[in-house]
Chains A and B, each alone.
Chain A
Amino acid sequence: MFCAPLVRARNICAAAAIQYRMNSVFFVMVAASLAMCIFSSPSAAFPAMIDGASGAITLSLKLCAIYAIWLSVLDIMHKLKCDRALQKLFSPVTKKLFKGEDEETRGLIALNFSANLLGMGGAATPLGIRAMERMQDGTDRATDNMILFLVVNATSIQLIPATVIGLRSAAGSLASSDIILPSLLATIVSTAVGIALAKVLALPSDRGSKKRLPLAEKGVKFD
C-alpha cells in the first residue's frame, strides 16, 4: 500500500553510498581545503590548521570547566533519584522512539533531552556520550537507535535560544525575544523531519536493535 514508495525511497537512499566512515568525510574536507589553499594562498594553510588545533585546546579547557560543574550537579541529581523521575516523565516518548534499550539508557536519554530543552548544553553532552556508549552493539557501525539519538541532538530541541537572544539585545534590538516562537517552530519541524527520515532509513533487520549482534555472529548478511 502506501508503504511501498517509502520502502523504495529507503532502498534508494541506502544504495546511495550511505555506508561511509568519518574517515572519508574528514579526508575529503581536509584534502579539498588544502588543494584550494595550494592554488589561492599556500601560506595560509598551516596557520589555519594550527588555529583549528589551538581552538580545540581553548574549547576543551572551557568545556572541561563546564562539565566539571554539570557532572557534579548531575551526580547529586543521580543520588537524589531525580533522573528516575525524569525517565518516568519521558518514558512514553523514549519507549516508542528507542525500542530495545534498557531503563538506564532511556533514563540517560530522558536527562539528555531535558538538558537540551532547557539549553543546558554543558549537561547534555556528557549525558549523551554515556547514552551512546550504552547503545552501541560492539561493532564499528552505529545502531539505528544511536543514529536516531544523534539526529535528535543534531537538529536541536532547545526551547529558548538564549545565546542568540543575547546577541540580538546587545545589538540594540527592540524585541530581542520575538525570535523565540519561530525558532521553536523551526526546531520542531527540523527534529520531526529528522526523526521521520531516521525511522524510514532504519534497516528492517535493525528494528529490534540489539538482535543484530548474535545474527551477525552467525554470518547472516544484511546488505
Chain B
Amino acid sequence: MTEFILPVFVLAIIAAGFFKRVNVYDSFVSGAQESLRLIASIFPYICAVLIATELFSASGLAAVMTDALAPLFKLTGVPEQLCELVIIRPLSGNGSLAVLEKLIAEYGADSYIARCGCVIVGASETVFYVCTVYVSTTKVRKLRYALPVSLFSCLVGAVVSCLLCTFI
C-alpha cells in the first residue's frame, strides 16, 4: 500500500501544476538549484555531528554507557537487549538501523525483542541530527532546553513502546 503513496502524490502535483499552467520544468530546475545551496549550508553541521557520533561509538564509549545505563533501563521496563538501541537511536539513524538489523537476525523478526526494537525506531527520530540541522541556517547556537526535552520524550516513547508490545 505505502509504496503507492509517493508516486501517486508526485504525479498528482505535477499533473495539477501542468494543467494550471505552472512551469513544471522551471520548478524542477530551481528546486535542484536550491537544493545545492541548502546542502552547502547544512553540510558542515552534518559533518560535525557525524564525526562526534562516529567517535562516540567507535571509541567504545557507547558500549560503556550502555553497560552503565542497563540497570536504569531495567527499572523502566526496557529489556536490556534493547539498551544499546535506545542509546544509539537519538545519535545516529544508520547506526540504529544496523543495531535493529542485528536484533532481528538474532531474535527473529516476530520475537518480542525485535518487535519492540522496530517500534522504538519507528516511533522516534535521530534527535541530535534534527536539532543540529534545523538550526544550522539560523543564528541560534543556544538550544536551551530543546535537547533534554527531546531526549526525555524519546525515552518515554521507548518505555511506552516496550509496554505496548507486550499486549498488542
Q: Across the two chains, which residue of chain A brings its CB closest to B15? A: A76
CA distance A25 to B141 in the complex (A): 11
B61 engages A33 (CB within 8 Å)? yes
The answer on a CB contact under 8 Å between A147 and B122 is no
Question: Which residues of the other chain, B, contact A147 by a CB distance below 8 angstroms?
Answer: 143-146, 149
Query: Closest chain B residue to A18 by CB distance?
Result: B145
Encode B18-61 as 1/0 by CB contact (under 8 A) with A: 00101010011011101110110011001111111111101111
Q: In the bound complex, how far is the Cα of B127 from the Cα of A26, in angstroms?
A: 14
Name the B residues within 8 Å of A118 (CB-CB): 5, 9
In Å, the complex CA distance between A192 and B48 comes to 30
Q: Chain A's interface: helix, strand, loop or mixed, by majority?
A: helix
The distance in angstroms between the C-alpha atoms of A165 and B105, with both chains bound, is 15
Neighbour of B118 across the interface among A19, A156, A179, A194, CB < 8 A = A179
Interface positions, chain A 156-193, Cβ under 8 Å from B, are 156, 158, 160-165, 167-169, 171-176, 178-179, 181-187, 189-191, 193
Selected interface stretch from A88-96, A98-106, A127-135, A212-220? A127-135
B87 located at the interface, meaning its Cβ lies under 8 Å from any Cβ of chain A in the complex: no
CB <8 Å contact, A154 and B130:
yes
Determine if A49 and B104 form an interchain contact, defined as CB atoms under 8 angstroms apart.
no
A47-58 vs B, CB cutoff 8 Å, 1 = contact: the mask equals 111011101110
**Known contacts A30-B55, A125-B133; is A189 also within 8 Å of B160 by CB?**
yes
Q: Which residue of the partner chain, among A154, A158, A162, A194, contacts B131 with CB atoms under 8 Å?
A: A154
State how many angstroms separate the Cβ of A212 from the closest Cβ of chain B: 13
Option from A53, A69, A167, A197 in Cβ contact (under 8 Å) with B104: A167
From B9, B101, B125, B161, A153 is in contact (CB under 8 Å) with B125
Is A139 an interface residue when CB atoms closer than 8 A count as contact? yes
Contact B135 A132 (CB under 8 A): yes
Establish whether residues B51 and A82, one from each chain, have CB atoms under 8 Å apart when the complex forms: no
Assess whether B153 is in contact with A49, with CB atoms less than 8 Å apart.
Answer: no
Task: Say yes or no: A29 contacts B133, CB within 8 Å.
Answer: no
B54, A55: Cβ atoms under 8 Å? yes
Q: Which residues of B lie under 8 Å from residue A163 when comparing CB positions?
A: 97, 121-122
For B51, B53, B100, B165, the residue with the greatest tally of chain A CB atoms inside 10 Å of its CB is B51
B residues apposed to A, CB below 8 Å? 2, 5-6, 9-10, 13-14, 16-17, 20, 22, 24, 27-28, 30-32, 34-36, 38-39, 42-43, 46-56, 58-61, 64, 90, 94, 97, 100-101, 104-105, 109-110, 114-115, 118-125, 127, 130-150, 152-154, 156-158, 160-161, 164-165, 168
